[in-house]
């Protein structure tokens, strides 16, 4: 015989627990506002006239409880603190994008200058300014030696020459061997590339861009 009494009690407890959690998560602390869902970073409760409505951010975006009341509350992960709210909805990747929304690096460690802006699952490839690399930690184009997943030497095609023992300089300058208007700055023995403007070339005697007429062996 099925223990209907025990089953009934168990069901009642489960329903009561669920209902209690549900009501608690839907409570409006104030008549108007947006509030976190305790364990989920891409969901939130919006209260209008004291009536709560649970909402879900577009996949790839997260709820920022510090967002202005007049701004869209779903923002990029670098702008949101998810401490204590680790759960998110499952990823919805497409052929182009790992998430529906976000910015993502394109290429490997030796090809760091491109990134993709994913908007509703459609990817748009963008280029950093020449010589800079996309930094996934900041969503900005940065010096490649400051980007953790970029090999600056391979990306720029230049390796800083070794320094003489006992003569350690934190910053050194080198004219590019194939372009006198281009030069490398070695910062702690890792390269960055720069370019002189029109009619200027890099003068190794002064470690700066100079009029091309003042630079030996340079013809533009």
Tens digit of each residue's pLDDT (9 = 90 or more) over 14-44: 333 333 344 344 789 999 999 999 999 999 9
- In the chain, the largest separation of any two C-alpha atoms, in whole Å, equals 103
Q: How confident is the model at residue 110 (pLDDT cuts 50, 70, 90)?
A: very high
Predicted pLDDT of residue 216: 86
Domain boundaries of the chain, sorted by first residue = 15-79, 102-155, 158-214
158-201 tens-digit pLDDT: 999 998 887 788 999 999 988 999 999 999 999 999 999 999 99
Which residue reads 């020449």 in tokens?
130
Residue 52 and residue 65 in contact, taking contact as beta carbons nearer than 8 Å: no
Instruction: Answer whether 15-79 and 102-155 agree in fold.
Output: yes
Residue range 15-79, CATH number: 2.170.140
138-158 tens-digit pLDDT: 999 999 999 999 999 999 999
In this structure, CATH architecture of domain 102-155 = Beta Complex (2.170)
Predicted pLDDT of residue 220: 67
């Amino acid at each position: 015989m099925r223990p209907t009494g025990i089953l009934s009690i168990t069901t009642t407890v489960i329903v009561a627990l669920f209902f209690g959690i549900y009501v608690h998560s839907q409570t409006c602390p104030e008549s108007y506002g947006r509030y976190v869902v305790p364990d989920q970073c891409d969901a939130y409760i919006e209260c209008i006239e004291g009536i709560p409505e649970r909402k879900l951010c577009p996949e790839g975006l997260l709820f920022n409880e510090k967002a202005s009341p007049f701004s869209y509350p779903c923002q990029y992960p670098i702008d949101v603190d998810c401490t204590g709210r680790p759960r998110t909805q499952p990823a919805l990747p497409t052929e182009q994008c790992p998430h529906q929304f976000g910015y993502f690096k394109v290429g490997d460690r030796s090809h760091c200058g491109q990134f993709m802006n994913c908007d509703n699952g459609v990817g748009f490839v963008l280029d950093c300014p020449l010589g800079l690399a996309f930094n996934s930690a900041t969503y900005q184009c940065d010096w490649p030696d400051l980007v953790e997943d970029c090999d600056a030497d391979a990306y720029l095609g230049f390796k800083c020459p070794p320094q003489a023992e006992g003569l350690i300089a934190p910053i050194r300058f080198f004219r590019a061997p194939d372009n006198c208007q281009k030069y490398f700055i070695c910062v702690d023995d890792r390269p960055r590339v720069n370019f002189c403007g029109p009619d200027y070339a890099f003068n190794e005697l002064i470690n700066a861009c100079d009029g091309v007429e003042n630079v030996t062996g340079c013809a533009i």
